[in-house]
Chains A and B, each alone.
Chain A
Amino acid sequence: MERRHFLRLLTGIGIAGVLPMSLVRPALGATPSRFLITVSASGGWDPTALVDPKGNALRADGLGPVNNYPASQIKSIGRLRYAAYPDGVTPPGTDSPGHLDTFFAKHYTRLRVINGVDTQTNGHETGQRFVWSGKLEEGYPSVAALAAAPYASQPMAFISNGGYDFTAALVAPVRTAAASTFTALAYPNSLTPSDPALRSVGFFSSPTYTAVQAAREQRLTRLRVSEALPERAAQMARLQTVRDSDVPLEALLSHLPATVSAGLKGQAEIAVAAFASGLAVSAGLNLGGFDTHGDHDEDQTAALTALLEGVDHLWTQIEQRGLQDKVTVVIGSDFGRTPFYNTADGKDHWNITSVLAMGAGITGNTLIGATDANFEALKLNASTLEPHSAGLLVTPKHIHRALRDFLGVPAELDALFPLPVEKLALFA
Chain B
Amino acid sequence: MLTISTSTRLAQRLAALGILLVVFAGLLTPVGARAASGASLPTFVHPVLQIPRVDVEGYGAISLSLVLQDEASLRFAIASAVPATAGLEPGATFTLGDGLLVIPTVKAGTAFHALRLQRLPGDVFQLLAAEEVVLPGQLDYTTQCAGCHGADGLGGAVGVSLKNCVNCTSLASLESKIAGTMPLGNPAACTGTCASTVAAYVLDVFNGTSSGGGTAMAAIEVLPLEATLRSAALQLVSRLPTALEQARVANEGETGIRGVLDGMMTEPAFYSRLSEIFNDWLLTNRYLSTNGGEAAIQLMRRYPNARWYDPGVANRGSDYVTLRNTTNDSVAREPLELINHVVRNDLPMTQMLTADYVMLNGYSAKSYGADTSIFTNEWDATEFRPVRLTGVPHAGILSSLMFLNRYPTSATNRNRARSRVVYDLFLDVDILALDGARPDGTAVDISSPAPTLENADCVKCHSLLDPVASSFQNWNLAGNFVRARSWYTDMFQAGFNGTAFPGTSMQEPLQWLSQRIVQDARFDAAIVRLVYTGLMGQEPLDAPGPDATAAETEAWLAESAHLDEIQARYVAANRTLKTLVKELVLSPYWRADGLSDPAQGVVHAATGPARLLTPEMLHRKLNALFGFEWRGTLNSYATSRNVLASARLLDSRQYYQQIYGGIDSFTITVRLGDPNGLMVLVQERMANEMACYAVPNDFLAQKTGRRLFAGVDITTQLNTAQERAAVRATIQHLHAYLLGETLALDSPEIEATYQLFAAVQVEGRKRVGVSELTTLPALCQRNNDLLTGASLNSGGVDGRLRNDPNYTIRAWMAVVAYLLSDYRFLYA
Contact = CB atoms under 8 A, between A and B. Distances in A.
Contacts of B157: 3
B417 A123 contact: yes
Contacts of A163: 667
Interface string A176-195: 11101100111011010000
Contacts of B675: 172, 238-239, 242
B432 A126 contact: yes
Interface string B744-781: 00001100110110011001100100011000011110
Interface in B21-77: none
Interface string B405-423: 0001011110011001000
A390 interface: no
Given A137-B432, A177-B653, A215-B756, A203 B681 contact: no
A3 B430 CA distance: 10
Interface stretch (B86-94, B147-155, B489-497, B590-598): B590-598
A50 to B, nearest CB: 20
A199 interface: no
A125 to B, nearest CB: 8
Interface of A: 1-4, 6, 8-9, 12, 15, 42, 118, 120, 122-124, 126, 136-138, 154-156, 161-163, 165-166, 172-178, 180-181, 184-186, 188-189, 191, 201-205, 207-208, 211-212, 215-216, 218-220, 222-223, 228-232, 234-236, 238-239, 242-243, 245, 247, 249, 286, 288, 291, 293, 338, 342, 344, 348-350, 392-393, 395
Interface stretch (B192-200, B252-260, B812-820): B812-820
Nearest to B416: A123
B610 A232 contact: yes
Contacts of B605: 9, 12, 230-231
Nearest to B753: A215
Nearest to A395: B441
A239 B670 contact: no
Contact of B607 (A156, A223, A231): A231
B410 A122 contact: yes
A177 B609 contact: no
Nearest to B669: A162
A181 to B, nearest CB: 6
B668 A202 contact: no
B430 A172 contact: no
B814 to A, nearest CB: 5
B691 A235 contact: no
16 contacts: A155-B678, A161-B667, A162-B669, A172-B674, A175-B659, A177-B655, A188-B688, A203-B780, A207-B763, A212-B817, A222-B749, A229-B594, A230-B602, A236-B823, A247-B680, A393-B442
Given A123-B413, A235-B609, A348-B410, A219 B604 contact: no
A211 B756 contact: yes
A230 B411 CA distance: 50
Nearest to A186: B681
Task: Give 9 nearest A-B pairs by CB, closest first.
Answer: A155-B677, A162-B667, A348-B410, A120-B441, A172-B676, A231-B609, A188-B685, A228-B594, A185-B681
A295 B552 CA distance: 52
B659 A176 contact: yes
A230 to B, nearest CB: 5
B564 interface: no
B477 interface: yes
Contact of B823 (A136, A138, A239): A239
B667 A208 contact: no
Contacts of A6: 542, 545
Chain B interface extent, by class: 35 or more
A350 B685 CA distance: 47
Nearest to A135: B437
A71 to B, nearest CB: 24
B698 to A, nearest CB: 16
Most buried by A among B552, B604, B668: B668
A360 B655 CA distance: 34
B818 A215 contact: yes
Contact of B677 (A156, A218, A219, A236): A156
Contacts of A215: 752-753, 755-756, 818
B527 interface: no
Contact of A338 (B412, B606, B681): B412
Interface of B: 157, 221, 281, 408, 410-413, 416-417, 420, 424-425, 428, 430, 432-433, 437-438, 441-442, 477, 529-530, 533, 538-539, 541-542, 545, 552, 592-595, 598, 601-602, 604-610, 612, 652-656, 658-659, 661, 664, 666-670, 672, 674-682, 684-685, 688-689, 691-692, 748-749, 752-753, 755-756, 759-760, 763-764, 767, 771-772, 777-780, 810, 813-814, 817-818, 821-824, 827
B545 to A, nearest CB: 8
Contacts of B607: 229, 231
A180 B659 CA distance: 13
A344 to B, nearest CB: 8
A186 B416 CA distance: 47
Nearest to A350: B412
Contacts of B477: 293, 344
Nearest to B545: A6
A216 B821 CA distance: 7
Nearest to A351: B441
Given A188-B684, A228-B595, A348-B411, A9 B606 contact: yes
A204 B672 contact: no
Given A165-B670, A235-B827, A393-B442, 15 more contacts: A172-B672, A177-B652, A177-B655, A178-B654, A185-B682, A188-B684, A203-B813, A203-B817, A211-B760, A229-B592, A230-B602, A288-B666, A293-B477, A349-B413, A350-B412
A27 B96 CA distance: 64
Contacts of B755: 215
Given A188-B681, A215-B752, A216-B822, A342 B411 contact: yes
A137 B678 contact: no
A207 to B, nearest CB: 6
A122 B412 contact: yes
A159 B731 CA distance: 40
A392 B432 CA distance: 24
Contacts of B763: 207
B413 A223 contact: no
Most buried by A among B432, B538, B552, B677: B677
Contact of B777 (A201, A220, A230): A201
Nearest to B685: A188
A205 B772 contact: yes
Contacts of A15: 674
Contacts of B606: 8-9, 230-231
Nearest to A187: B685
Contacts of A203: 688-689, 691-692, 777, 779-780, 813, 817
A418 to B, nearest CB: 12
B552 A181 contact: no
A229 B604 contact: yes
Contact of B408 (A155, A162, A243, A293): A293
A155 B417 CA distance: 37
A46 B2 CA distance: 51
Contacts of A178: 653-654
Most buried by B among A15, A222, A348: A348
Given A205-B772, A207-B763, A338-B412, A185 B688 contact: no
B543 to A, nearest CB: 10
A223 B334 CA distance: 44
Nearest to A224: B823
A144 to B, nearest CB: 15
A174 B595 CA distance: 34
Nearest to A120: B441
Given A180-B654, A228-B601, A236-B823, A204 B676 contact: no
A247 B756 contact: no
A31 B604 CA distance: 38
Contact of B814 (A123, A176, A211, A235): A211
Contacts of B656: 177, 181
